Structure formats: structure tokens, C-alpha cells
Amino acid sequence: MIYSRIAGTGSYLPAKIITNQDLEKLVDTTDEWIRTRTGIERRHVAAEGETTVDLAEHAARRAIEAAGIAPAEIDFIAFGTTTPDLVFPNCGTLLQQRLGCRGVPAFSLETACAGFMYALSIADKYVRCGEARRALVIGAETLSRITDWSDRATAVLFADGAGAVVLEAAASPGVLSTHLHSDGEYKDLLYCGSGVSKGFDAKLAISMTGSEVFKIAVTKLGQVVDETLSANGLERSSLDWLVPHQANIRIIQATARKLEIPMERVIVTVQDHGNTSAASVPMALDVAVREGRIRRGELLLLEAFGGGFTWGSALVRY
Ligand code: COA
């Protein structure tokens, strides 16, 4: 049997930081409201002209270096993003050209905040079936470009960043299972109304019915973590770490409660990163790996939920 294992992680944040105090000057909000309702204290946003692929390239190079391989050894690229540089070529292919691994399959997919979970699941399948040996999996976003900075309901939440992992073929897992879901019934609760086929309108930004999104996110994430554990015949107590989507500290706490996992075993970066959509899980993973908290051999549950709705999880022996 061939499995995939995480050989290296990387992440990158653009230099510019917007604090809650900065937002107090832009919209009718307070640092206290943002911190207590979301857990967010600051977020990073891309500079003018800095794109999703620019951020992704930094994260990818760090993950490749951590894996101890050369960029040319990457033979598959799966890139989750909802904020691509261009309509086409896709971000995966743009990144492939920069890394110099020419000719390998590369694509991007847009499943909002679950983008990394979808990309990871697909890359894992390609490694398992022997068609890829070293897959680069990316989640990267410049959500600041589709955020209405005068809308306090969303401006306080979203941010930019990039995370990456290199998956490598291995004789033992690695990625134990992945679980993906979507339900378009909820499409009106969280969306960006601008598009290509429907008509491009740069004025249309992220629109969200926050309290409804909150409730459904907690329910669906609770279900998917149960599904993940039962698919592997595991008890909640087997988990070493929960690496959740960093949307809101209260959603993270609710999922941790469901798993009966103490917050000390939950990776939380939302205070520094905000909600970076597809970038959120791989960035949190990389932070925890580089801080030495997540160690080789430990069992991780990764999960994310976002617009669509789309959601998913992965159980990973790191
Ligand atoms: N600053 C100050 N007040 C704000 C505010 C802001 N940025 N945004 C909303 N408010 C106000 C509302 O107008 C409302 O005022 P009212 O009681 O006078 O009507 C009050 O705060 C409560 O609003 P509500 O929307 O009920 O708050 P909430 O506790 O649900 O928190 C969110 C709002 C957005 C933080 C929360 O619903 C959330 O995080 N939802 C999930 C969003 C998410 O994670 N989306 C991405 C999924 S990937």
C-alpha cells in the first residue's frame, strides 16, 4: 500500500497588519467587540499589487525547504483559493511556472474556506494511487480584495495569507482519511456576488448572514469530526491536536467541546491571522509545527467550513 505523509509545511503572511484599533477608525466597531465575538486581534493584508500567487510562492518554498527537496521534485500541485490572480491561467499553474516544475499537473479549486481540505484530499488520492510522489498542496487567499472595508459585519473578520504542505509517498500513513461535503442550499448565507459568467462587479464584496453561518458551522463541523473518528474506529481521546479552520474563536471552542479536547490541544491562530479562508488550516498547522508544539507521530484532526457551504476534515498522523 502507498500512503501520503506530510513531509514539510510552510506559510507566509503579507507584511501589512491591520489591528482592531485601526478598524475602529474605519467602521463603527470596537476592539472589545471584535475580540469577544471573534477572538481576532489583528490581521494581515496584501500590499497593492501583491497577489495570491505571490503569497503562495513564499509558503510553497518554505514547505519545500522543510521537506528537504528541490522545487523541481514536485510532481503535482493542488491549490485552494477563492481569490485567484486571474480568471486563467489558474493559480496552480502560475505557481508551477515560478517553481520550475514544468509539465506536472497543476490546478486550483474554489471551495472557499474548505479549499485546502479539498486540495489535500485530492492530492492524497493521487499519491495513494501512485500517480504522484511529491504533491504540493496550497491554501492561499487575498480576501482583502473582496472585502467591503466599510461593512463592519465582514471587515473585522477576513484577511490574507498562504499555507502549504508537501505530501510525500510513504509506506505508512500519513493522511489516514479525508471527508468532504457541500450543500448549496445555503448559498445565500455567505457569498461574493461578483463573478465572470454572472457579471463582474468590483463593488460586490463578501456578503454574510453571520449568526446563521455560525450555527450551521458549529453543527456541520461537529458532525464531520464524529464522522472522521468513526471512519477510523477511534475515540476522541486518541487525538493529540485539533487544527481547526480559524474563523471565529467561539466556533473553535464549540468544536473542541464536542471533541472533549482541552483548548491546550487546539491550535489557535485566529487572534493574529483573522479568517484567511483556504489559507487558515495550513497556516495554523505550520505555525504549530515550527513552534515545536506538533511533533512527528502525533495524531491531528484538521477541519474547515466555508461558503457554499463546503466543509471537510482530514485525520493525519504527522
Ligand atoms: N462591531 C460592533 N458591533 C457589531 C459588529 C461589529 N463589527 N458587527 C455586528 N455588530 C452588532 C450587530 O449589529 C448586532 O447589534 P444589535 O444587537 O444592536 O442588532 C450585534 O452586534 C450582534 O450581532 P450578531 O450578528 O448577532 O453577533 P454575533 O454574536 O452573531 O457575532 C459574528 C457576529 C459575525 C462575529 C458571528 O456571527 C460569526 O462569527 N459568525 C460566523 C462567521 C464566519 O465565521 N464566517 C466565515 C465562515 S468560514
152 CA → ligand 1 middle, Å: 9
pLDDT computed for residue 258 by the predictor: 86
Other CB atoms within 10 Å distance of the CB of residue 36: 11
Q: Is 37 in the pocket of ligand 1 (CB under 6 A)?
A: yes
Ligand 1, pocket-test mutation among 28, 37, 218, most atoms within 8 A of CB: 37
| β-pair partners for 167 | 6, 135
Atom of ligand 1 nearest to the CA of 156: 7
Q: Is 310 in the pocket of ligand 1 (CB under 6 A)?
A: no
Calpha distance 23→159 (Å, rounded): 13
* Span 189-232, pLDDT tens digits: 999 999 999 999 988 999 999 999 999 999 999 999 999 999 99
Verify whether residue 275 is a known catalytic residue. yes
| β-pair partners for 301 | 242, 315
Q: Is 35 in the pocket of ligand 1 (CB under 6 A)?
A: no
Read off the pLDDT band of 144 (50, 70, 90): very high
- Kindly name the residue from 90, 245, 248, 273 that is annotated as catalytic: 245
pTM of the model: 0.97
How far CA 10 is from CA of 56, 67, 107, 218, 290, in Å, comes to 9, 10, 19, 28, 9
